[in-house]
């Protein structure tokens, strides 16, 4: 497999899928392989990658997106030791301010407990919400890129560009020049 980065995402209404495509193109499409977590037997592909990106939106007042939820227990079978994982989450900070991006926090915590090294945390400055389970312990960062297509779609492109540079740096891969 020539792609170096495995990007796994779940998406109920396509926003996370569209963000995943932008992230792939920003990192360089030739080195990213995308997987929709809803597809059959997709978890088996995780083991092929040392560099992973996981994308998850939050649904229904702080719940996991349904396709991630469907494979939640199966994730426990995967050995994440030696793997670097970057996370991105989608949420709505105005509509669901008490549960902003909670699912990204749950996924991060689970994968870390399975041995992964997290990379590319993202400053929470400038976001307006009340509570989030996706914060670092010191409360200064989200555990991954925070995207809000409902309220701040105009900021997503710049956020993705900046975060992808962080991700490549953390993976020790050269910048994408195209
Ligand atoms: C019924 C409903 C419940 C939602 N619950 C939350 C929530 O608890 N926390 C949050 O941050 N966003 C919440 N959202 C916002 C979604 O995460 C957001 O729309 C996201 O872009 C959906 O991504 P997807 O299209 O990839 O599924 C909710 C949206 C809907 C429609």
Q: Which tokens hold the place of 126?
A: 């400038």
Q: What is the pLDDT of residues 40-57, one digit of tens each?
A: 999 999 999 999 999 999
CA of 73 to the centre of ligand 1 (A): 22
pLDDT of residue 1: 46
pLDDT class for 177, splitting at 50, 70, 90?
A: confident
pLDDT of residue 7: 98
**Contact 88 CB / ligand 1 (< 6 Å):** no
- Atom nearest to 149 CA in ligand 1: 21
pLDDT class for 3, splitting at 50, 70, 90?
A: confident
Q: Which domains does the chain have, with CATH numbers?
A: 2-171 (3.40.50.360)
Token pair 């991954």: residue:
144
Q: What is the pLDDT of residues 72-125, one digit of tens each?
A: 999 999 999 999 999 999 999 999 999 999 999 999 999 999 999 999 999 999
**Contact 58 CB / ligand 1 (< 6 Å):** yes
Q: Cβ-count burial of 11 within 10 angstroms (0-12 exposed, 13-18 middle, 19+ buried)?
A: buried
**Contact 67 CB / ligand 1 (< 6 Å):** no
């Amino acid at each position: 497999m020539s792609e170096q980065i495995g990007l796994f995402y779940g998406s109920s209404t396509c926003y996370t899928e569209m963000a995943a495509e932008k992230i792939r193109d920003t990192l360089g499409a030739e080195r990213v392989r995308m997987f929709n977590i809803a597809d059959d037997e997709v978890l088996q592909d995780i083991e092929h990658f040392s560099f992973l990106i996981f994308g998850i939106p939050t649904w229904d007042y702080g719940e996991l997106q349904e396709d991630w939820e469907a494979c939640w227990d199966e994730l426990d079978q995967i050995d994440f030791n030696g793997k670097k994982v970057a996370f991105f989450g989608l949420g709505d900070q105005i509509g669901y301010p008490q549960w902003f991006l909670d699912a990204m926090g749950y996924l991060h915590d689970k994968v870390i407990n399975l041995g992964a090294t997290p990379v590319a945390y993202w400053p929470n400055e400038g976001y307006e919400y009340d509570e989030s389970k996706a914060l670092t312990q010191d409360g200064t960062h989200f555990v991954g890129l925070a995207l809000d297509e409902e309220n701040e779609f105009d900021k997503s492109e710049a956020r993705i560009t900046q975060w992808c540079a962080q991700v490549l740096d953390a993976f020790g891969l050269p910048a994408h020049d195209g």
